[in-house]
Amino acid sequence: MAETKQQLHIAMFPWLAFGHIIPSLELGKLIAQRKGHRISFISTPRNIDRLPKIPSDVAPLITLVKLPLPHVDNLPENAEATMDVPHHIIPYLKIAHDRLQEPLSKFLETSNPDWIIHDFAPYWLPPIAARLGISRAFFSVFNASTLCFIGPPKWLSSSSGTADGPDPGFKRTELEHFIVPPKWVPFPSKIVYRPYEAKKLFENTEANASGVSDFFRFMMVYLGTEVVAIKTCMEVEAEWLNLFGELLPIPVAPVGLLPPSPQEGNDNRDSTWDTISKWLNKQEKGSVVYVALGSEIRPSQEEFNELALGLEQSGCPFFWALRKSAGGESIELPEGFEKRTKGRGIVWTGWAPQFKILSHESIVGFVTHCGWSSVTEAFQFGRALILLPFIGDQGLIARLLEERQAGVEIPRKEEDGSFTRESVAQTLRLVMKDVEGQIYRDKAKEMTTIFGNKELQHRYVDKFVELLEKHRQIVTKG
């Protein structure tokens, strides 16, 4: 008689950033929906309250767990996610996050999940979970090429040249080490940082106000987890997934691209879409560029001016979703910009339903900061990408997409990262309408066969869950 599968209880604990929280929730929903396992989704009260509504078919299987965020000096009240604070305040958010150690331990002790699927930030979590007999999986919203570039634990550590540690020649201690492919990448690659990006990244290699560096967090998580699950798939990053599997001594599992489900908004948000769709409906099919730099990117006033004036100079119809920054810094549009572009473009300062906008037939291109989730959304609908990365892994994602001829980066100066209105206008015209840019438009359409193929993507989740089930069976029997 066939053995009946036991329902697993899986706790999920994403980092306090919506670029991490939403893919983590998407993964949780799919695990519940497809396999019937129970999910405890853990975050802070305000973040939980901002989540999209859980579909009724999986709601009974998903428990939303609110852990109040401890108070930390320098962290504004009600700031519970990276989108709520300017970039330089994020280390204080990490301090508050690290202070969730005790309430999270108590929750794990009382609820006794089989697995905890965690993020890169809680470097203190694996030993706690191991002591409680809970299996650990690190879920990375960073794609495989980025993880390979960051490097495996032995090259993140401070030791050098020991029997099992890195060769001293592998240790990256200089800025120059980040603008070339790492020595452990055995094939040709252009996925590197530019000098201006490497300067910013270099900060991550040093301890910040939270007391530890981001690299240290990665290293400790790798050393304490049992599986690494990555938001990617073989069809996009086969060579990088294979390499990462060789670099780590534990299973590496692609969980697919987790394309977000269309969200049902509340009435207010639906009326927002009515207004936006009316304008989009009036535009010619395949003529509009959508501009959105995510909820955390804060360009300088100069960058902002050049982007705006480049949009104007390009002559392309545009829809610009312009989020007001959490830090409250005031950034002004160039004088007379809205008047001069009236009718041709819209600057939208409220909430904008990105998924619905990208799916609209008038949209052909997307000026993006290269967040992996935004890229995933765009390729579901075959939108050609104009790449304008700013922080973190965005530069590496831009290089990956350029290697695949799936987007074009707006040229910047290597040293300071500045760009001009002319380079913005030129890149927009190339990707949106020039004959030479047809290759990028075609490649973006080709991407829908991977990114838009829900069945293909869901098979990755199924395989991942089978891995979790088998591992638990072995642990239980052992």
What is the model's pLDDT at position 408? 98
Task: Note the pLDDT of residue 461.
Answer: 97
**Domain boundaries of the chain, sorted by first residue:** 9-259+454-477, 267-451
The pLDDT assigned to 5 comes to 62
3-state secondary structure 390-408: CCCCHHHHHHHHHHCCCEE
- Whole-angstrom CA distances from 154 to 159, 184, 433 are 8, 11, 47
Please list the pLDDT of the chain residue by residue as tens digits (478 residues). 344 468 999 999 999 999 999 999 999 999 999 889 999 999 999 999 999 999 999 999 999 999 999 999 999 999 999 999 988 899 999 999 999 999 999 999 999 999 999 999 999 999 999 999 999 999 999 999 999 999 988 777 653 333 344 444 456 778 888 999 999 999 999 999 999 999 887 766 777 889 998 989 999 999 999 999 999 999 999 999 999 999 999 999 999 999 877 764 444 566 899 999 999 999 999 999 999 998 788 898 999 999 999 999 999 999 999 876 655 566 789 999 999 999 999 999 988 999 999 999 999 999 999 999 999 999 999 999 999 999 999 999 999 999 999 999 999 999 899 999 999 999 999 999 999 999 999 999 999 999 999 999 999 999 999 999 999 888 877 6
* Homologous superfamily in CATH for domain 267-451: Glycogen Phosphorylase B; (3.40.50.2000)
The answer to whether 119 is a known catalytic residue is yes
20, 97, 118, 369: which one is catalytic?
20
Whole-prediction pTM: 0.93
20 catalytic per annotation: yes
Q: Topology of domain 9-259+454-477, per CATH?
A: Rossmann fold (3.40.50)
Residue 168: the pLDDT is 46
Class of residue 228 by CB neighbours under 10 A (exposed 0-12, middle 13-18, buried 19+): buried
**Active-site annotation holder among 84, 119, 214, 393:** 119
Identical topology for domains 9-259+454-477 and 267-451: yes
Cα–Cα dist 245/268, whole Å: 46
For residue 205 the two structure tokens come to: 């290699």
Which pLDDT value is given to residue 285? 96
How much is the pLDDT for 259?
85
